[in-house]
Structure 1
Amino acid sequence: MHNVNVRTFDLNLLSVFVMLWETRSVTRASDRLALTQPAVSHALRRLRDGVGDELFVSTKGGLVPTARSEALIGPIREALEQIGRALQQQESFVPALARRDFNIAAGDVFEFSILPQLIEHIGQQAPGIVIKLAPVPEGELAHQLLDSGELDVVISAQPVKAMGLRNETLYEISLATLIWEREGLGKRRFPLSLYLKRPHVVIRTRQSTVVDQMLAQRGEHRHIGAVVQNFMAMPMIAARTGYICNVPSRMAPTFAKMFGLSVHEPPLDFASSPLYLSWHRRFEADPAFAWLLNQLRAMALV
């Protein structure tokens, strides 16, 4: 067994080890750490000498962890997180005096239904806080950006599942049905017969929607007149064509007022869809980050 002298071991090397594990590449690790490639290569050599193991084997597909590396990654990550929590415990966060950017990856639903209230609230309580929105990354990239801190949170219809991440339901998305006011519908619930007859303008999705799934279960289907890429286009088209559109109920009153549409309950009780809030637990000890999570939760209830 190789003995490691913890007192003389350079703990900075542990951060390099974790980054090499995550990226499986000296080049990508150097970019993420803002170090030169020779510096990262030198750190890897020191790690190998210090631990007495190759740790990573170079292959055409990138660096592959050894068994020793597999055994070390969990305890080392936990140790670094504990150090981070200990160093942050004495920090205070005063929203009114804070100067900080928060990076949030989210889609149209959040941007139209929660972000305006969030920005208004933060502008009053913490004017030095800037919210920066980014598209929701796909696949492993979401985990990587949360882990590195490049993203503070991801808000999406799907939870981001990976080691070290937490997910909670921010709120449930229910639907409202819109049509132009000149239709003269006085009923609160939209008539099913008109719903099936009139064309719909819908948002592009990768899978069948709850609307189409429920209609299919009843042996029915709706007529699609247009497919768009964001929610704002739907009421704009509905206002000009008389098409039907279904939007998250939180957006419906605003869209109706802007475009001269009437708001109705859908003809059937379509299931609501969760909107998930995802973050990395290693940032939870940061008072500013904890404050952000609480603001998001509060605005979701408005």
Structure 2
Amino acid sequence: MDLNLLAVFMMLWDTRSVTRASDRLALTQPAVSHALRRLRDATGDELFVNAKGGLVPTSRSEALIGPVREALEKIYGALRDEETFVPSLARREFNIAAGDLVEFSFIPELVEHIRQQAPGIVVRLGPVPEEGLAYQRLESGDLDAVISGQPVKEMGIHDETLAQIDLLTLVWKRENLSKPRFPLALYLKRPHVVIRLPDRQGSIVDQTLAQRGLQRQIGAVVQNFMAMPMVAARTGFICNVPSRMAGTFAELFELSVHEPPIAFDTSPLFMSWHRRFDADPAHAWFLDQIRFVVSVA
């Protein structure tokens, strides 16, 4: 059924007059009369009969008005986006795909921050899928956001630079290095524990050293950031970790924190989401919480 007919039906009920209904709907009287005929054909009932005081609804009309009014109010409310999101009352789960950098650096603060405002919301973290699959999962709503060093460059995806990640250098505290900047000679002599990279371009550290004709020694290759300071604490190896992790790792593993001997370029951290959820107030609120936690971390 044409939903416009239901709007005419409701206006006829309220005004009990074809003339007044046409005025309020900004339609001609013949148009309203034609709509009434279509309604009668669709329902198999007169719906309204003429009387001295105007149109009088039939019993069938009386049975229809409640459900019709409720249905139209829901439709109009949805179109006006009247839905409100109250974090403290919400019961919902949000899914993020991110690597261990995000998991160690931001997720503890994000969970704590959200717990204070919205105790009924659960944050679920999973690994970053391959690019094509990441797009599909964002589009379907299976993922609310992907936070990664690479944007999800697909139609309908928003990519936002969330932060710039810089590196600090950690080594045994018992080395008693007093200067903030790590000495270059020791940096090149001592083996490093590094994280395995998914591509073959090499890390920003190795690229920067190579530009200066320098090369560091690799003593171990691990799969995540957490393993790096653990290996460094046992072996005396050097490790370079994102600055947001450095203080925590240094405290946990008796390491000292230093600026690298050479200034390395920062690396962008992107947040990606699908634009089809931009009108969802809960989704928008969740992304804002991520932005806030990253900005103050």
TM range (shorter): 0.7 to 0.9
The whole-number CA distance in structure 1 between the counterparts of 2:264 and 2:79 is 48
Alignment partner for residue 255 of structure 2, among 258, 261, 274? 261
Deviations 1:32-61 (A, max 9, x none): xxxxxxxxxxxxxxxxxxxxxxxxxxxxxx
Alignment partner for residue 292 of structure 1, among 281, 286, 290? 286
The whole-number CA distance in structure 2 between the counterparts of 1:126 and 1:108 is 24
How many percent identity over aligned positions?
Answer: 68
The whole-number CA distance in structure 2 between the counterparts of 1:238 and 1:286 is 45
How many angstroms does 1:139 deviate by?
2.4
Matched, 1:250 2:244: yes
Which residues of structure 1 form unaligned runs of 5+?
1-5, 9-82
What residue is the counterpart of 1:229 in the other structure? 223
Matched, 1:218 2:195: no
Question: SS state of the match for residue 268, structure 1?
Answer: coil
State the aligned residue count: 222
Amino acid corresponding to residue 120 of structure 2 in structure 1? G
The whole-number CA distance in structure 2 between the counterparts of 1:159 and 1:236 is 30
Amino acid corresponding to residue 202 of structure 2 in structure 1? S
What residue is the counterpart of 2:88 in the other structure? 96
Matched, 1:136 2:108: no
What residue is the counterpart of 2:187 in the other structure? 195
The whole-number CA distance in structure 1 between the counterparts of 2:173 and 2:162 is 32
The runs of at least 4 aligned residues of structure 1 exceeding 4 Å deviation read: 85-88
Deviations 1:20-42 (A, max 9, x none): xxxxxxxxxxxxxxxxxxxxxxx
Question: SS state of the match for residue 190, structure 1?
Answer: coil
Contact (CA 8 Å) 1:88, 1:286: kept in 2 or not? no
Question: SS state of the match for residue 162, structure 1?
Answer: coil
Question: SS state of the match for residue 151, structure 1?
Answer: coil
TM-score (normalised: structure 1): 0.71
TM-score (normalised: structure 2): 0.73
Amino acid corresponding to residue 270 of structure 1 in structure 2? F
Deviations 1:264-293 (A, max 9, x none): 001111000000000001101101000011
Alignment partner for residue 144 of structure 2, among 146, 152, 157? 152
What residue is the counterpart of 2:111 in the other structure? 119
Contact (CA 8 Å) 1:97, 1:126: kept in 2 or not? yes
Contact (CA 8 Å) 1:201, 1:238: kept in 2 or not? yes
Contact (CA 8 Å) 1:158, 1:275: kept in 2 or not? yes
- Which of 1 and 2 has greater Rg? 2
Which residues of structure 2 form unaligned runs of 5+?
4-74
What residue is the counterpart of 1:283 in the other structure? 277
What residue is the counterpart of 2:172 in the other structure? 180
Amino acid corresponding to residue 87 of structure 2 in structure 1? P
Question: SS state of the match for residue 301, structure 1?
Answer: helix
Contact (CA 8 Å) 1:176, 1:264: kept in 2 or not? yes
The whole-number CA distance in structure 1 between the counterparts of 2:219 and 2:79 is 57
The whole-number CA distance in structure 2 between the counterparts of 1:245 and 1:258 is 14
How many angstroms does 1:87 deviate by?
4.3
Structure-2 change in CA distance of 1:88 and 1:252 (3 Å):
farther
Amino acid corresponding to residue 229 of structure 2 in structure 1? P
